[in-house]
Amino acid sequence: MLFRRFMATAATTAKTHTSDIVIIGGGPAGLTLASAIKNSPILKNLKIKLVEGGNLIEPLEKFNESPPANFMNRVVSLTPATISYLKEIKAWDHFKEERTETYDNIYAYDGITNARIQFDCPEIATMCENFNIQSGLFQRIKELNKDNVENPLEILDKTKVIEIKSDEKNKWPVLQLSTGDSIKTRLLVGCDGYNSPARKFAGIESRGWAYNRWGIVATLKYKDDAFRFPTGWQRFLTSGPLAQLPLPDNWCSLVWSTTPELADILMKLPEEKFVAMVNAGAKLAPSEMEYLYKLAAKNDETLMEEISWRLNLFNSKLKEEEYENYPLEIESIVPNSRGRFPLKLSHADTYVEERVALVGDAAHTTHPLAGQGLNMGQGDVKSLVKVLETSTERGLDIGSKFALEGYFSERYPANHVLLGIVDKIHKIYSTDSSLLVMARSLGLDAINNTPFLKDFMVSQISNK
Amino acid sequence: MFRKVAIKTNPLLLSKRFLHTSPKTYNAVNHTAISPSEMEHFNKLAATWWDPHGPQRILHKMNLIRMDFINDTIKSQLKLNEGIKNDEEKVFIPGWNYKNLLPSEIAGQIEKEQKAAIAAKYDALELKCLDVGCGGGLLSESLARLPVVSSVKGIDLSAEVLRVADEHKTLDPMVEAKLNYELKALEEVPKDDLYDIVTMMEMLEHVDYPAEVLKEGLAHVKPGGHLFLSTINRDFISWFTTIFMGEYVLKIVPIGTHTYSKYINDSEILEFVEDFKKEYEVVSSKGCIYLPACGWKFTSSSNVGNYFSAIRRKEKLSN
């Protein structure tokens, strides 16, 4: 009896809403898409909801009002193209620019031969915390909502999508939410990451492979004993690239891609020894690293001493002008900032199906070595918004695959090429076969000394 | 097979199609009627009308450029400074060459202000539309989805395709309320029903007496409103692209879709409207061509192949 009464009230309070677009996922891709649509004079009157499973609004407000003293460990590289889009949708003004670092130089060097390539281009990339991006976009959405009282963007956070079904009559997706409500929508956009429920609902296959590598991230601080221009450093060890990317005030963000075994060892090390291993990884030879990993596995007491002795020896052999070819030494780490995530390549067979579009990681994931992951998602958003605008002006049903086709045909080839290049770079550098090492080092030196090739690569990296 | 087609539709064997002279024999009661064979052809297409990957894909694609033509024409006909007396408030309308003459920042600013003024004027419109020969409703639905369109009436002579259209519109709540279809001929639409937009897309080349149909359609245009039509020039290029390549070689449209002798030249439309120049004027004509893998693109000449034309009914009679 009681149960039945409970059911009865549940049934009367649960509502079915109708929407033009539902975005799943409140990450950078989802929030960029939401603000770009509401920023568009053509699209701003659409009814849009953004559904996010986690707690989003509260932490974003907190970040905006009183940002944490230390940098967070989830940091991404933004290309100039991404930044100019964020400026175009007037979100960049809400970013905390003092927490971002724009740099001009990238040094990439071989972990075996130390053959190097240097890219020098004004404002080649900007490092920015994920949370800073989300917070800036969220503030922009709030601002847009103030000017659009009739059709504000609704963010439903702490709300999980339990099930997605098709409406019996017109096949529109109906999302059953954890709050008990459901939303029927003309178009469902999955900004919901690698395991995208939206992609699964649409029955779109995603293909690719795991790299059998983990990316270890951490926030580190350089020793303040010499001057370096803000530089992105990347050393290609055979286990994977070790990247140190600049943040303001001599801070840096680490992305160390490595094998699962080595990742285990590095994650378990006490923080002080982990810092020493990062310093070793930036300079020492593969044979030395191998020895150090063995000591690290045992958490050996002599590890620190071993590393500092070897680094001193290495430094003593450097000529004065060679000093600047290597990053400064790391002095400290933000406590508990170490984290790791698995690396994989994946690409969805299509980004659009009847009533569904996929954006960002839901459509493609890549190795972080080129810092392109988030930027590809931003490119997707820009393209999708343009397609939605054109389709709306032409009076098309924006949920139909026919209206969305242009988005897929524009983005798929571009993303595919980038995924492929990054994949090849990973493969070329994950070998120690001497012939290939020689070839890649020669190639790198050759490119480094061929300005027009380098210019082309810079334009590709920065999407300028 | 090709030889047979060639003989049937050889351009050299065909005489001129005079639009401005009414044909000698026509059924006065139902002169917008289409022949039974045309009717049968469209009935066969009904089932797959709304499948953008089906035999009508090229029509779905064409619908995109139709909407562009309609939107562009309406926007270009807006009178930005109408009713504004104060010079300060007027939008500056520069000469055609201003982008070459003025510094880019100034030209950019002028363009931006002009676009904003156009958008504001356009957004305030409330347009009533009549889609003649609406078929399965591709254009009718697209028109109905525009916020500036308040209602759309679609008429057609095939009950079968209208059933498809009626069924399809119920799938989208956005168009359902604004759109209704009626099985009737153009002359059965009440004489005093006037519309801001009357459309005759890919339709005139299927009727036996296009001049009568056009005249009837123009009578339903509100002063200041437009009749939009698209059809095909009667020339070798058209025969080659629409019939030879389209129907027989690439097979992108069903065989029997076109009848060469029924094609109408853009110049014939101009000639026709010239007879009514006190009341009507052709404000825009644009050619278009289907490029496989690219879709429909506007061309530089409306005298070759497919084309669109927009006829405006003047607000006041002129001399």
The two tokens of residue A238 are 């055979």
**Cα of A20 to nearest chain B Cα, Å:** 10
For residue B19, what pLDDT is reported? 53
Angstrom distance (rounded) from CA B201 to CA B208: 15
At residue A243, what is the residue type?
A
DSSP string, A25-85: --SHHHHHHHHHHHH-TTTTTS-EEEE-SS--HHHHHHHHHS--SSPPS-EEEEPHHHHHH
A395/B contact by beta carbon, under 8 A: yes
Angstrom distance (rounded) from CA A134 to CA B178: 39
A168/B contact by beta carbon, under 8 A: no
User: What is the percent of chain B with per-residue pLDDT over 90, rounded to a whole number?
Assistant: 47
Angstrom distance (rounded) from CA A191 to CA A30: 5
| DSSP one-letter code for A8 | H
Angstrom distance (rounded) from CA A63 to CA A130: 11
Angstrom distance (rounded) from CA B93 to CA B114: 7
Beta bridge partners of A442: none
| DSSP one-letter code for A327 | P
CB contact under 8 A, B145 and A395: yes
Residues B203 and B187: beta-carbon distance below 8 Å: no
**Cα of B66 to nearest chain A Cα, Å:** 9
Question: CB-based contacts of B275: which residues, under 8 Å, 6+ apart?
Answer: B20
**Cα of A315 to nearest chain B Cα, Å:** 54
Q: Which residue of chain A has the CA closest to B123?
A: A42
The two tokens of residue B217 are 């359609």
Is the pLDDT assigned to residue B80 strictly greater than 80? yes
DSSP string, A161-213: EEEEEE-TTT--EEEEETTS-EEEEEEEEE---TT-HHHHHHT--EEEEEEEE
Q: How many CA atoms lie within 13 A of A91 on its CB side?
A: 29
CB contact under 8 A, B145 and A170: no
Angstrom distance (rounded) from CA A236 to CA A116: 10
N-term to C-term CA, chain A: 67
Collapse the DSSP code of B117 into the 3-class scheme (helix H, G, I; strand E, B; otherwise coil) and give the result: helix
CA nearest A380: which of A400, A396, A366? Answer: A366
Beta bridge partners of B180: B153
For residue B60, what pLDDT is reported? 94
Mean pLDDT in residue range B164-184 = 94
At residue B23, what is the residue type?
P
| DSSP one-letter code for B171 | T
In this structure, the number of other CB atoms found within 10 A of the CB of residue A168 comes to 8
In this structure, the number of other CB atoms found within 10 A of the CB of residue B71 comes to 16
The two tokens of residue A360 are 């960002």
Angstrom distance (rounded) from CA A53 to CA A69: 27
Residue ranges at the known binding site of B: 66, 133, 156, 201-202, 205-206
Angstrom distance (rounded) from CA A406 to CA A206: 20
Beta bridge partners of B83: none
For residue A214, what pLDDT is reported? 96
CB contact under 8 A, B64 and A394: yes
The two tokens of residue A135 are 């917070």
The pair phi, psi for residue A161, each rounded to 5°, is -90, 115
Q: Which residues of A touch B172 (CB under 8 A)?
A: 170, 186, 397
Choose the mutation target among A18, A171, A353, A393 for the interface with B, i.e. most B CBs under 10 Å.
A393
**Helical H segments across chain B, by residue range:** 2-9, 36-45, 57-76, 98-101, 104-123, 138-145, 159-169, 173-176, 210-218, 236-238, 266-274
**Cα of B154 to nearest chain A Cα, Å:** 16
Return the ∠ at Cα A219 (arms to A217 and A220), rounded to 5°: 120
Which member of B64, B170, B172 has the closest CB to residue A397?
Answer: B172
Q: How many CA atoms lie within 13 A of A62 on its CB side?
A: 7
CB contact under 8 A, A170 and B172: yes
Pairing of strands A206-222, A330-333: antiparallel
Angstrom distance (rounded) from CA A269 to CA A296: 7
Angstrom distance (rounded) from CA A348 to CA B318: 61
For residue B2, what pLDDT is reported? 38
Is the pLDDT assigned to residue B6 strictly greater than 80? no
Q: Give residue for tokens 């590095």.
A: A266
For residue A462, what pLDDT is reported? 66
Mean pLDDT in residue range B96-117 = 87
Mean pLDDT in residue range B141-160 = 95
CB contact under 8 A, B52 and A169: no
Beta bridge partners of A251: A221
CA nearest B127: which of B97, B150, B146? Answer: B150
> How long is chain B?
319
CB contact under 8 A, B173 and A18: yes
CB contact under 8 A, B171 and A400: no
| DSSP one-letter code for B241 | I
Choose the mutation target among B60, B66, B67 for the interface with A, i.e. most A CBs under 10 Å.
B67
CA nearest B239: which of B249, B229, B228? Answer: B249
For residue B9, what pLDDT is reported? 39
For residue A155, what pLDDT is reported? 97
Which member of A18, A170, A396 has the closest CB to residue B142?
Answer: A396
DSSP string, B245-272: IIIIIS--S-TTS--GGG---HHHHHHH
Q: Which residues of A touch B146 (CB under 8 A)?
A: 395
pLDDT in tens, chain A (464 residues): 444 444 444 445 678 899 999 999 999 999 999 999 999 999 999 999 999 999 999 999 999 999 999 999 999 999 999 999 999 999 999 999 999 999 998 888 888 888 888 888 888 899 999 999 999 999 999 999 999 999 999 999 999 999 999 999 899 999 999 999 999 999 999 999 999 999 999 999 999 999 999 999 999 999 988 888 899 999 999 899 999 999 999 999 999 999 999 999 999 999 999 999 999 999 999 999 999 999 999 988 999 999 999 999 999 999 888 888 899 999 999 999 999 999 999 999 999 999 999 999 999 999 998 888 999 999 999 999 999 999 999 999 999 999 999 999 999 999 999 899 889 888 888 877 777 788 888 877 777 777 777 777 777 666 65
Question: CB-based contacts of B241: which residues, under 8 Å, 6+ apart?
Answer: B289, B290, B305, B306
CA nearest A52: which of A153, A122, A152? Answer: A153
Return the ∠ at Cα B135 (arms to B289 and B185), rounded to 5°: 120
Residues B155 and B184: beta-carbon distance below 8 Å: yes
Complex ipTM over 0.90: no
Residues B219 and B279: beta-carbon distance below 8 Å: no
For residue A463, what pLDDT is reported? 60
3-class secondary structure per residue, B180-226: EEEECCHHHCCCCCCEEEEEEECCHHHCCCHHHHHHHHHCCEEEEEE
A389/B contact by beta carbon, under 8 A: no
CB-count exposure of residue A339 (10 Å: 0-12, 13-18, 19+): middle
CA A266, A271, A275, A276 torsion-angle sign: negative
Mean pLDDT in residue range B162-187 = 94
For residue A447, what pLDDT is reported? 77
Residues B200 and B215: beta-carbon distance below 8 Å: no
Angstrom distance (rounded) from CA B68 to CA B62: 10
Collapse the DSSP code of B172 into the 3-class scheme (helix H, G, I; strand E, B; otherwise coil) and give the result: coil
The pair phi, psi for residue A450, each rounded to 5°, is -120, 95
pTM of the entire structure? 0.90
**pLDDT per residue as tens digits for the range B216-265:** 999 999 999 999 999 999 988 888 888 888 888 888 788 888 888 888 99
